[in-house]
Structure 1
């Protein structure tokens, strides 16, 4: 059944929708799993960073295009990808908690990769029931309704994003110190990690603004220090820069492909109910030795994440197992599971293609009607 069919059946039986999604019952099942374990977070981050940095270094030592070099490059990309996805965990952590973890993550990953944690604050709008799937949700595009070129463009944007980000940090950041008008534009149009390029970020609060300024200044100084080092020593480190760029593109592409399978992306009609939001999200609980590579730190359990946004990633497999065992057979949560990411993306591609065909047929019919009216 398609999401549209599901919506239709839901709208016809709206009074019965509430008991079908018993959030209280689901919370009772996983209540003891909602507390994050700092030891796991710190160990995972530090071990992943050690592996990523070591592999990144030895890529340039290996013979060019050898199996060892390719293997080490992919290993470093996968580990940096895992590290980058901790930004998703941090935005859902309780305010004032994991302070040193946030600081160290920004020092090791956020600043060097020019993706400080403030660029993901807007992710919380993706979880607001009245914002999800609307123009206030920067992480949602109606890909299933807008044609395949939007999907292709979204993935290919990974090639240019690193260049845009460097320009934002190195050039636009210092200019915002002198131009309030430019500062407002940059904060609303160029300070968010989102899917929708037309998304307009709400202006930050004073407290958030202080954090943003601190982190963007650190990114600017990182870029400036690199540039000064090149000018001082007169040696342009092209191999390192090329590797850093290719690593960034690979990480962004992996995340873009994962994102294509995170939702069904069928909504283009405004606000959705909680049940519709849940059914629009997808879990990939099977084959963890593969799914954990492209969906690290719990991102492969996206429907579960929308059910319990603050559930720590290390407890998601157990939470999913309990819910599948204890929820009723007709629980909507059971409809959110898929086996492979490829099947999710193929389904999205086919639905998008069908929309293209329907729109093309409508255009042909409109043209024919215009010709007939002219002849008549």
Structure 2
């Protein structure tokens, strides 16, 4: 285990680090398009191999063939990869990706019931005064929870697909019928977050227009799947729904495991210094092929992403190599590297057990808490539930 205490006392110059990687911020739309279209196409092909043909033919069900099982998991990995482009679209607001954003929402965001508006709140996770506090919906003080909470968190993966379908099939029309319903749905059931108590701020008029268009697409998609097959094909979509549910569970579970390894979750709720935030984030520069499967689209360089949120994912590997070559040997950035995801999760469980030690608890109580600079009224935003606790 790395001793982080010496690194917390080190200074870190963000401007100096940025000067080292200043040529790593150029967005290359061709890479986005190639990556997305190949991953999406392979995912659709494998998905059709599992069901036994296109959406127009009856689903063959599970045949027990190894090839079908392989295609199922390959399709999940491909759809997981294309789904995580939502992270790039929130950070890359450049006009160069305007058409890509539209196509992604049309082919992935709406069919997967995760249009870009559900991730707008992700920006708060990168605000220095919000990170790891009550204003951060993508942070839970995992180290300060019991080990069973990790399993509890992972179990949400089985409920989220059902909750999301309910949100767009049932809550969407209710939100259209009354302003009060709209406010509740937006604040409590419209965010891809990790903390189920997060309350989303109300949107601006321009953002609300985007939300209404995207949620209308999700509403029509859900009801189209439910109504059109019996009317046009004379069969229900039950087999499709089961297949979609199982795929969603695998994808969300994989994303939840990735999320557990993206930070060290050591903060108890107070405001953290910039260096503490950096040390609380994790990079996975090793095992490139396997890491790219469970942490695609730049997610394996999560600490680097927190340094430079606007850096495109395809530049991160090169930027990380430059920083490791040219930063001082005692730079806090060097302490962000982890060996593997299993090792990081095991370390999280060990930290949870250590925090349960009565001697450690007494020592922690003797340390004076850092004063918080948060405004009390901001805490009022966080009373309620969210239907999509993923990062």
Task: State the 1:231 CA deviation.
Answer: 3.9
Q: In the alignment, what sits opposite 2:139?
A: 140
Deviations, residues 17-54 of structure 1 (Å, cap 9, x unaligned): 5xx21111111111111011000001110111100000
Question: In the alignment, is residue 31 of structure 1 matched against residue 22 of structure 2?
Answer: yes
Gaps of 5+ in 2: 53-59, 363-391
| Aligned positions of 1:143-162 closer than 5 A | 143-162=142-161
Residue 186 of structure 1 deviates from its aligned partner by: 0.7
What is the CA deviation profile of residues 62-82 of structure 1, one whole-angstrom value per residue up to 9, with x for unaligned ones? 872221011101100000000
Q: Which moved more, 1:258-267 or 1:94-103?
A: 94-103
3-state DSSP class of the match of 1:147? coil
CA distance in 2, matches of 1:329, 1:177: 57
Q: RMSD value over aligned CA atoms? A: 1.9
How far apart are residue 153 of structure 1 and its match? 1.3
- Which residue in the other structure is 1:165 paired with? 164
1: CA distance between counterparts of 2:350 and 2:258?
17
Structure 1 residues 157-306: aligned runs within 5 Å: 157-233=156-232, 234-306=234-306
Q: Tell me, in whole angstroms, the C-alpha distance in 2 between the residues paired with 1:90 and 1:350.
A: 35
Q: Secondary structure at the match of 1:98?
A: helix
- Confirm or deny: 8 A CA contact 2:29 2:96 kept in the other structure: no
Deviation at 1:310, TM superposition (A): 0.8
8 A Cα contact 2:354 2:360, kept in partner: no
Match of 2:354 in 1: 354
SS in 2 for 1:348: helix
Q: Which has the larger radius of gyration?
A: 1
Per-residue Cα deviation, 1:186-215 (whole angstroms, up to 9, x for no partner): 100100000000001111111111111110
User: Residue 77 of structure 1 corresponds to which residue in structure 2?
Assistant: 76
> What is the CA distance between 1:224 and its match in structure 2?
1.5
Q: Who is 1:56 aligned against?
A: 47
SS of residue paired to 2:21: helix
* Match of residue 315 from structure 1: 315
Over 3 Å counting, the alpha-carbon distance change for 1:304 and 1:232 in structure 2 is same
- Following the alignment from structure 2 to structure 1, what is the Cα–Cα distance between the partners of residues 128 and 361? 35
Contact 2:355/2:361 (CA < 8 Å) preserved in 1?
Answer: no
* The structure with more helix, counted as a fraction of residues: 1
Contact kept in structure 1, 2:225 and 2:237, CA below 8 Å:
no
CA distance in 2, matches of 1:360, 1:315: 42
Query: Unaligned 5+ residue runs, structure 1?
Result: 363-376
Q: Residues 158-194 of structure 1, C-alpha deviation per residue, up to 9 Å, x if partnerless? A: 1010000000000000011112111111100100000
Match of 1:41 among 21, 32, 35: 32
Cα distance in 2 for partners of 1:206, 1:304 equals 33
Structure 1's consecutive aligned runs of 4 or more residues displaced over 6 angstroms after TM superposition are: 359-362
What is the number of residues matched between the two proteins? 353
CA deviations 1:56-115 (Å, max 9, x no partner) are: 000123872221011101100000000000001110013544111011001111000100
Q: Residue 359 of structure 1: CA displacement?
A: 9.6
Q: SS at 1:33's partner residue?
A: coil
- Which position in structure 1 is the counterpart of 2:65? 66
TM-score, reference length from structure 2: 0.87
**Relative to structure 1, is the Cα distance of residues 276 and 361 closer, same or farther in structure 2, using a 3 angstrom cutoff?**
closer
Q: Distance in 1 between matches of 2:226 and 2:72?
A: 25
Separation (CA, whole Å) in 1 of partners of 2:359 and 2:237? 50
Q: CA deviation at 1:148?
A: 1.6
**2:141–2:269 Cα contact (<8 Å) kept:** no
Which residue number in structure 2 is paired with residue 21 of structure 1?
12
For 1:66 and 1:359, locate their aligned partners in 2 and report how far apart those are by CA, in whole Å.
54
State the structure with bigger RCO (CA 8 A, min sep 6), 1 or 2.
2
